[in-house]
Amino acid sequence: MPTSLVTHTLARLAERFELQLLGDGEQVIDCVGTLADGSPTAIAFLANRSYKSQLIDTRAGAVILAEADAADCPVNALVAADPYLAYARIATLFDPRPVPQAGVHPSAQVHESARLADTVAVGPCAVIGANASVAAGCIIGPGCVVSEDAVLDEACRLVANVTLGHGVVLGKRVIVHPGAVIGADGFGIARGPDGWEKVPQLGSVRIGDDCEIGANSCIDRGAIGDTVLEEDVRIDNLVQIGHNCHIGAHTAMAAFAGVSGSTRVGRNCLFAGRSGAHGHITIADGVTVAAATMVQKDIMEPGTVWASGIPARPIREWHRALGHLRKLGRQHKRNG
């Protein structure tokens, strides 16, 4: 098993992340842990109220927590205004993730016209197409395909088996997880006399700085102009972004979220799991869409919360409710 072999004293962590230390500053921390499972050299955190009951019995070496919880902590503590954010930053110190060395693996296939900065790492069996441009510090993992004319700014990471279509543009520090596809053709078909005719998808995709795209998610290229994600958009796994969508900065979308073509989503929006929006609509800044909810029309009021998902019920009770629903649909017909 990989171990990080990294150790820090609690005092050092408090100083580096500007947190208040309560307890033994010489306590050595060498990993993160949960309140329930923490080892004596692990640092845990308390951010979600529902885990408060685990604080009293924790065996962690230290806990990152809010001031209000400090009195109930049986072990050393770091007091933070935002414990989860403090945890996120501290945890980066203990990440055992292997970092590939710069250089092009002999089995990688880099087109002669592609431009790669010296510090780029290209993994085994990765493919980089003609005229592609990959800036300093990028990591192109094994099996990734970077198509012709794609442009990656500094410090992007394509983890493995990622596909970037031709001409796709990534900003700085973009992370793309395995199996994601950025820049496949949008779904454009027109009815012709003998069946469907394909509508060429002539735009591309532009992804802003600090975006992250989850595993097996798809972001389609535009039909005419580009599909755009502004900076710091965070996309979970198995998400679909249709052609010519424009997603505002800092918006986050959980798994199975989907946005149909030409829809404009504001900044700082949250789309919960399996939520979605129809095409050709506009959603204001700061809108939250609850799980399993389908937005069909423009939402113009910033900061509003919308829902249409239905929580599970015991199946017989649900079938009775459905029976009533069905009756409502039929009654109205007779009455109206």
Which is closer to its own copies, CB of 76 or CB of 240? 240
Binding segment for its own copies among 6-14, 15-23, 69-77, 120-128 (CB under 8 A)?
A: 120-128
Q: Please, which residue, 58 or 240, has the CB nearer to its own copies?
A: 240
Which of 13, 21, 75, 123 contacts its own copies by CB under 8 A? Answer: 123
Minimal distance in Å, beta carbon 24 to its own copies? 22
- 24, 69, 231, 285: which one binds its own copies (CB under 8 A): 231
Tokens of 92: 């980066």
Q: Which stretch binds its own copies (CB under 8 A): 12-20, 65-73, 113-121, 290-298?
A: 290-298
When the beta carbons of 26 and 130 are compared against its own copies, the nearer one is 130
Q: How many residues bind its own copies (CB under 8 A)?
A: 135
Give yes or no for residue 302 binding its own copies (CB under 8 A). no
141 CB contacts (<8 Å, ≥6 apart)?
100, 123, 126, 157, 158, 159, 160, 161, 162, 178
- Quick one: 26 or 297, whose CB is closer to its own copies? 297
**Spatial CA neighbour of 286 closest among 246, 242, 252:** 252
CA–CA distance, 336 with 316 (Å, rounded to integer): 30
258 and 278 in contact (C-beta within 8 Å)? no
Least gap, CB of 264 to its own copies (angstroms): 13
Among 166, 172, 282, 298, binds its own copies (CB under 8 A): 166
Dihedral (CA of 264, 189, 257, 304) sign: positive
Q: Which of 5, 48, 49, 112 binds its own copies (CB under 8 A)?
A: 48
Nearer to its own copies, 71 or 192 (CB): 192
Q: Report which of 128, 139, 221, 147 is spatially closest to residue 176, judged by C-alpha positions.
A: 139
Q: Is 187 in the site for its own copies (CB under 8 A)?
A: yes
* Greatest extent of the chain over all pairs of C-alpha atoms, in Å: 79
Closest CA to 207 of 188, 239, 183: 183
Q: Does 215 bind its own copies (CB under 8 A)?
A: yes
8 in active site? no
Distance between CA atoms of 113 and 148, rounded to whole angstroms? 10
Element (H, E) at 295: strand 294-295
Q: Is 6 in the site for its own copies (CB under 8 A)?
A: no
Nearer to its own copies, 29 or 238 (CB): 238
Kindly state whether residue 212 participates in binding its own copies, applying the rule CB under 8 A.
yes
Q: Is 258 among the residues that bind its own copies (CB under 8 A)? A: yes
- Stretches 16-24, 70-78, 113-121, 286-294: which one binds its own copies (CB under 8 A)? 286-294
Query: Given the complex with its own copies, which of 22 and 179 has the nearer CB atom?
Result: 179
3-state helix/strand/coil string of 27-70: CEECEECCCCCCCCCEEEECCCHHHHHHCCCCCCCEEEECHHHH
In whole angstroms, the minimum distance from the beta carbon of 219 to its own copies comes to 9
**303 lines the binding site for its own copies (CB under 8 A):** no
Going by C-alpha positions, the residue among 37, 51, 41 that lies closest to residue 76 is 41
Taking phi over 0 as left and psi of -120 to 50 as alpha, with beta for the rest, 154 belongs to beta
Shortest Å, Cβ 72 to its own copies: 21
Q: If binding is defined by CB under 8 A, does position 37 make contact with its own copies? A: yes
The count of other CB atoms within 10 Å of the CB of residue 285 is 16
Marked catalytic residue, from 111, 166, 177, 243? 243
